[in-house]
Amino acid sequence: AATDAAAFERDFGPDAGISWTVEYDAVASSAAASKKSGDAAQHCAVRLRGAPADTERVAAADADRYVEAYVAWWFGESRESRAFVRGFDRVLSRASSDVYGLLTPSDLELLVRGSPSLAIFGALKERAVYEDGYDAESATVVNFWKVVDELDGEKKLKLLKFITGSDRAPIKGAPRIVISRSAATHQLPSSHTCFAHLVLPDYADLATLRTKLLIAIAESSEGFGLR
């Protein structure tokens, strides 16, 4: 249950305190049997079906029951879930009235979230477009792809998110990225995620490019540029 809870929080946020509820033996407040719903200006308590009663305290023995009730509420009754379903139904109904019968849960996940496969990086390189003085043979471009090849899976996905805004590839395959030259070699690489556009300074050597790129993708996952 702890592993499932951690995965849920990774995708939907830590607001629920799900991992805390499952992993710790400490007794939580009885308020944990409900979930606050709404924005900062307007909250309301939502009764979780199957969760311990309002008068019960959520202890370690109740953790799995609470997690199941919370996840059921989130996907079935929450405002966010209902809005998603309405929009998703609207899109799919335009495509085919029988689409639900054709898609498995895995198919739906790929359609909505994209693919986490690292196999797209070969296609990413093949489809890349170069601007502002760069081409596929430019020394900095060659060094860039050398660094990409060195990255482990986690860092490759962070790089993809840095450039495109998502660490998953569209179901149709690798996006077409644009890599443009900048003379500001004192700066880190930057990106325009809406356009899958990487601005890559023309660094003097491989070591400098590696260092600057790794800093950029590490900082971007923590909100670089927004602090």
Lowest mean pLDDT of 34-38, 63-67, 148-152, 196-200, name the range.
Answer: 34-38
Residue 42: the pLDDT is: 45
Residue 175: the pLDDT is: 82
Residue 188: the pLDDT is: 94
Lowest mean pLDDT of 20-29, 126-135, 172-181, name the range.
Answer: 20-29
Query: Residue 116 and residue 153: Cα distance in Å, rounded?
Result: 10
Asked if 85 and 100 count as a contact pair (C-beta separation under 8 A), the reply is no
Residue 137: the pLDDT is: 94
Helix (H) or strand (E) holding 35: strand 34-37
**In the predicted structure, residue 99 carries a pLDDT above the cut 80:** no
What DSSP string runs through 132-179?
Answer: TT--TT-HHHHHHHHHHHHS-HHHHHHHHHHHHS-SSB-TT-----EE
SS3 193: helix
**In the predicted structure, residue 126 carries a pLDDT above the cut 70:** yes
Q: Mean pLDDT over residues 106-133, rounded?
A: 82
**In the predicted structure, residue 128 carries a pLDDT above the cut 80:** yes
Query: Residue 173 and residue 149: Cα distance in Å, rounded?
Result: 19
Query: Residue 71 and residue 180: Cα distance in Å, rounded?
Result: 44
Share the mean pLDDT of the chain: 74
The model's pTM is 0.59
At a CB cut-off of 8 Å and minimum separation 6, what does 182 contact?
Answer: 132, 199, 200, 201, 202
Quickly count: other Cβ atoms within 10 Å of residue 144's Cβ: 23
Instruction: Write out the catalytic residue numbers.
Output: 194
Task: Note the maximum CA span of the chain.
Answer: 69
Q: Would you state the structure tokens that stand for residue 139, as one six-digit string?
A: 């020394």
Query: Residue 171 and residue 133: Cα distance in Å, rounded?
Result: 32
Q: Which of 188, 197, 196, 198 is nearest to 218 (CA)?
A: 188
Per-residue pLDDT tens digits for 16-39? 455 444 444 433 443 444 444 444
At a CB cut-off of 8 Å and minimum separation 6, what does 122 contact?
Answer: none
Residue 57: the pLDDT is: 59
